[in-house]
A and B are shown apart, each in its own frame.
Chain A
């Protein structure tokens, strides 16, 4: 086999082209923009969905790509939200875009320091440690009422207009929606570039076979800590956006509820797939929005059933089901 044959081999071609943009990848963004014009009354809800997408993307990086099973990712969401909230409430920093960066820095720092010690463990111990670490932050926020507002949180945060021109309006979320969409886009492009880079490939390698990655000489622990830090920083941005868009911050930003919800959303959409976060957040939040108030028990029952079914039969989530169907369809078409 010559070199050109090797390059034309389907597997080699797939590997070389896997990072290329596909036509459908513009679709979520066009839809999000279309929603801005089509549903002006639902922009507050739309903003919430976009923030959740960003949060789910950050978890996808840690869980879906590096295989770090964590139950405490809301710790970083809350860290970002509280950074913005505390700085704004005390009048120290109210500029939104740099506020995001500060939120990302604080969450990233917490992620780095906690990752440095927590990521030495694996499995159940890691699960417990992430859970306890989040509990620790939550209880600290609850206790330090002088700084964090305790159980009530901080409300009516004064946030400056974006670049001095576009004012946030809590009741009419036009500005928030476009602002969050823009930030989501930037973060998504960053994450997409990252997971298709050699660094991203090494993360996938660690997820698939840690022992082998050690054997080929990859610095496994350092890669995991870097990935965890980046993931925490993005979660921090999501939290900071949440605080800015709602102009308040409370304990719900770092509880088990939020951590479990984002995990469910990611798995529902399909983890390790980038776009799973979009699909999962959209489907979950729509269902929740329209079902949970009407039939709260039925919603919870259905959600539980859905999780059980996903865990038992459809581990790739909605996108995984789509891929499976497409594969079967192709197999059926290619049969003579």
Chain B
């Protein structure tokens, strides 16, 4: 019985972490799948969003939910400018150029945040209604983790419906599968790119704020979590929302369990697993083979 509760609490913690991974990475997956753009600066947008949210709460006294909304909107707007002015010039460039460009952006983001706010970690104080424990009947668990799971599930369902059931979602899927064909059918790809990029960056900002409590928030954030975001996207398959969702949950749970039961060398396992998986299925666990 004790063992069962231990397993369940590990699962819950892992799933909650996985939800944050999902919210941050889903935009990266769609931008990479749709535009074929290796965007290493995606974590940078998550960091900027996280900073906006935490600062809005700590310095302006804004409530958590309002701060999250502000973070989403501001980062989405800023990333639209980035996309139109800079990213769009490199859609046809080589991967190397995209990697360099986005690493450069990450450096600039890190330096700007350090100059503007300072190098120290920004603490996120959760509102009282999210603190403490909640009784689920069979187990009592951290309220915030349960809320994260609920929020993540709702977002997943919303994105899935939007992706599968709306005209816009159909256009995105068409463009992921065959960009030239979609273009010849009159889909405005340029506009689609901008919208998707802005939305994905906004989601990253949301994830940055929601995850700030346990991922921490300091200027090195985009580099620290770069590899794990990329792993989620690569494992899930490019441009597949459900794929990213499952991959996030798997990696969230595995990472959480390894940190708990095998604090030394847990990361080795994640790297090894990713290498084997990508060698077996280069298109990712849930991606379509080409």
Residues on B with beta carbons closer than 8 Å to the beta carbon of A305: 104, 108
Smallest CB separation, B37 vs chain A (Å): 10
Tell me whether B227 and A135 are in contact (CB under 8 A): yes
**Contact A304:B104 (CB < 8 A) given known A135-B267, A139-B267:** yes
CB atoms of A304 and B111 under 8 A apart: yes
Contact B104 A301 (CB under 8 A): no
| B17 CB–A CB distance under 8 Å | no
Which of B111, B265, B267, B278 meets A300, CB within 8 Å?
B111
Report A122 CB to chain B, min CB distance, Å. 9
Q: How many residues of A contact B (CB 8 A)?
A: 41
**CB < 8 Å: which of B90, B106, B223, B271 contacts A135?**
B271
| CB proximity of A44 to chain B, nearest CB, Å | 27
Point out the residue from A128, A135, A256, A263 that lies within 8 Å of B278, measured CB to CB: A128
Number of A-B contacts (CB under 8 A): 120
User: Smallest CB–CB gap between B244 and chain A, Å?
Assistant: 14
State whether A136 and B99 are in contact (beta carbons under 8 Å apart), knowing that A304-B105, A304-B111, A311-B104 are contacts in the complex: no
CB B209 to nearest CB in A, in angstroms, measures 24
Q: How far is the CA of A120 from the CA of B38 in the complex (A)?
A: 19
Q: How many residues on B have C-beta within 8 angstroms of the other chain's C-beta atoms?
A: 44
Q: Which of chain A's residues have a CB closer than 8 A to the CB of B94?
A: 69
Question: Closest chain A residue to B274 by CB distance?
Answer: A132
Q: How far is the CA of A79 from the CA of B223 in the complex (A)?
A: 23
In the complex, the answer to whether B282 meets A311 with C-beta atoms within 8 Å is no
A238 within 8 A of B: no
**B282 to A264, Cβ gap below 8 A?**
no
Q: Which of B103, B112, B223 contacts A301 (CB under 8 A)?
A: B112
B167 at the interface (CB under 8 A from A): no
- Bound complex: CA A315 to CA B97 (Å): 8
A52-73 residues with Cβ-Cβ distance < 8 A to B are 63, 69, 71
The answer to whether A136 and B104 have CB atoms under 8 Å apart is no
B279 touches A132 (CB 8 A): no
- A312 proximity list for chain B (CB < 8 A): 86, 89-90, 101
A139 and B268 within 8 A (CB)? yes
Q: Mark B76-115, 1 if CB is under 8 A from A, else 0.
A: 0000000000100110011111111101111111111011
Across the interface, which residues of B come within 8 angstroms of A71, CB to CB?
Answer: 99
Contact pick for A125, options B114, B223, B282, CB 8 Å = B282
B275–A307 contact, CB under 8 A? no
Nearest-neighbour CB distance to chain B for A84, whole angstroms, equals 23
B110 to A300, Cβ gap below 8 A? yes
Which chain A residue has the least Cβ–Cβ distance from B96? Answer: A69
B222 to chain A, nearest CB (A): 11
**Cα distance, A117 to B277, chains bound together (Å):** 12
Nearest-Cβ distance from residue B105 to partner chain A, whole angstroms: 6
A264 to chain B, nearest CB (A): 7
Residues of A within 8 A of B86 (CB): 308, 312
As a 0/1 sequence over residues 136 to 166 of chain A, the CB contacts with chain B under 8 angstroms (1 = contact) are: 1001101100000000000000000000000
Contact, CB under 8 Å: B101 / A63 = no
Report if A74 contacts B (CB, 8 A). Answer: no
The yes or no answer to A109 lying at the interface (CB within 8 A) is no
Is A303's beta carbon under 8 Å from chain B?
yes
Q: Is the CB of A136 within 8 A of B95?
A: no
Known: A132-B231, A136-B271. A311 touches B265 (CB 8 A): no
Query: Which residues between 101 and 131 of chain A lie within 8 Å of chain B, taking CB atoms?
Result: 117-118, 120-121, 123-125, 127-129, 131
Inter-subunit contact B274/A267 (CB<8 Å): no
* 3 nearest CB pairs, A to B: A307-B104, A304-B107, A304-B108
Starting from the known contacts A121-B282, A136-B275, 5 additional A-B residue pairs (CB-CB under 8 Å) come to: A132-B274, A132-B278, A139-B268, A256-B223, A300-B110
Q: Which residues in A have some Cβ–Cβ distance to B below 8 Å?
A: 63, 69, 71, 117-118, 120-121, 123-125, 127-129, 131-133, 135-136, 139-140, 142-143, 256, 260, 263-264, 267, 297-298, 300-301, 303-308, 310-312, 315
